[in-house]
Amino acid sequence: MSPTETRIDTDTSLLTDPDVESDYRDVNGVRLHVVTAGDPDAPLVVLLHGHPDFWYGWRDQIGPLVEAGFRVLVPDQRGCNLSEAPDGIDAYRLSELTADVRELIRSEGRESAHVVGHDFGGFVAWNVALRRPAVVDRLGILNVPHPTVYRETLRSSLRQVLRSWYVWFYQLPALPEWALGRNDMANMVESLEVTSKPGTFDEETIERYRAAWRHTGVEPRVNWYRGFRRSEPPSADVVSPSTLICWGEDDVALLPSMAEDSVGYCDDARLRTFPDASHWVHHEREAVTDALVRHLS
């Protein structure tokens, strides 16, 4: 941090609600920063952020879920913000990320919870439901396809291959870290702005994101994508927990057809699409929060 930069704490001091607290949990061999809110005995909801997000990405959903009668648990996933960042690519395989969620639920004295994920956190949420279906009461997915749909679309659609260029770029050694970290992580900021509608991320919010990225650097986040490529697919294809998929149709990275295709891999699923909303649909449409509350209730 340069002498001219102001220190920004990236725990729950970012919020004005005194009932939202920061905690740390030792789970699955890693120490995770976790934001908690709500009655400890209420039904549990776990919210999983993606890239380049951190727990703060769920700030607009925490309060409404608590008001609706839920206990809310929002981790910084491993390698992000205030959570520990293990070394090596294998530490970021989906089997490890899903085990983190399972152990976080157990750390609350529960055997299951509602699980909601956005972006890469959505991939983790899909995988928890597929690998450990008894752990998931109800599933919420925001702008990320079912893993099988994503694999099959990459095999059949050049458009999706081109939109997923960054996944291949992140497989290169060292270069992604240099590109994302240079100029005070200007490319990370650009990724927020390019993938969202104008005004979704104001300057104050962007500075909070920069502060969160500085804690662990960009390498662990890139390793999510390297670990994704090394991960074994789940043994099951069909999701059994009741599922809500919310999808901003103006996602620049993902074809909207994958949202409807994902419904076909669920025993019980409903799709809500949001025209003129981006990949960051839960920031841009209050109706997403309302839909999640109704679904989980």
Q: Give the catalytic positions in this structure.
A: 119, 225, 279
Residue 32 CA to residue 105 CA, distance in Å, equals 13
- Which uninterrupted H or E stretch holds 34? strand 30-37
Alpha helices for 77-174 (secondary structure H): 94-107, 120-131, 147-156, 158-163, 165-169
- Tokens in use for 158? 């050049």
In sequence order, what are the beta bridge partners of 115? 46, 139
Is the bond leading into 256 cis (omega within 30 degrees of zero)? no
Query: How far is residue 245's CA from residue 142's CA, in Å, rounded to a whole number?
Result: 6
115 φ/ψ angles, rounded to the nearest 5 degrees: -125, 130
